A and B are shown apart, each in its own frame.
Chain A
Amino acid sequence: MKFGIVTFPGSNCDYDAYQAVVEQLGETATYLWHKDHDLQGSDVIVLPGGFSYGDYLRAGAIARFSPIMADVVAHARRGGPVLGICNGFQIACEAGLLPGALLRNASLKYIAEFVRLRVENADTMFTNRYEKGEQLLIPIAHGDGRYTADEETLARLEGEGRVVFRYIGGPRDADEFWSPNGAMHAIAGIVNEAGNVLGMMPHPERAMDSLLGSADGVRVFESMLSRAGV
């Protein structure tokens, strides 16, 4: 299975995603330059984390107009898998692939730490190797991660099981929902209506090896393989 990882000016997790796919999964990956109009036959598109275009105007607002995004959107409309991580989630929202927006953290602080997540839907092409209700340890690193949408959108996301990951924990380390960034409904990750686009603020590609703190992110990538029958 071939993963195409888009490099925007300011992307900084493209290499992490490449490592995750090639070293940990043993699959093939290629970098896709944002100025190109060529997905190079990639099966999965990864919109990686970082600070595309310096987060000017709004995080992801300029990157969504990069030439390659027209091809990424067409790939998504055809049902092709798209994994947007952190800045990639912000870009996917700006591009209209996912509803809502990611706003400045409620604390106004940049947060870089391991957080606990709960798998809310294990029946997606990105989460079928997890159990529903399973708890994961995956790091976040962002300043603009407060998921925000209107009530109607939130009701639809909830009703259709499209909230895939939620933050839990908090200062008391309890198993209750808690937003480190003020995200509505403690939302950490959602899928689109067709289920082929996942946006998540936490970084599964940085949780690929227990030696580095956690291997809980591996199955996001493995799930895509098993769905494809690889």
Chain B
Amino acid sequence: MNRYRIAVHITPRRGILDPQGRTVADALHTLGFTDVRDVHVGRHIVVELDAKDESTARDATRAMCEKLLANPVTEDYEIASVEGDG
């Protein structure tokens, strides 16, 4: 077994009102970052797990996202990075 450290990004699905993102975008505009078009505020989750190889670790993480980490009704997820000694 190898140890993996997998980071997952979970963001509000496009098209669903994201009041946090909008508020942050407004604040950035106020600060002078006028080129900002949109901001999305989500969650960054880091899972450390043991798996026999990277592909198994990725599959397990995706299953975790489907079941618990992300809400399939309103959120999208992506595996942002995988670090491991495998």
Contacts and interface: CB of A to CB of B under 8 A. Distances in A.
Interface in A84-136: 93-94, 99-101, 103-108
Contacts of B17: 103, 106, 146, 148, 182
Interface stretch (A44-52, A57-65, A75-83, A215-223): A57-65
A57 B73 CA distance: 15
A101 B71 contact: yes
B84 to A, nearest CB: 24
B69 interface: yes
B68 A148 contact: no
Interface residues of A, number: 20
Given A57-B68, A61-B68, A65-B68, A148 B74 contact: yes
A104 B20 contact: yes
Interface footprint category on B: 10 to 19
A216 B39 CA distance: 42
B19 A107 contact: yes
17 contacts: A57-B68, A57-B69, A65-B68, A94-B71, A101-B71, A101-B73, A101-B74, A103-B12, A103-B16, A103-B17, A104-B19, A146-B17, A148-B16, A148-B17, A148-B73, A148-B74, A150-B73
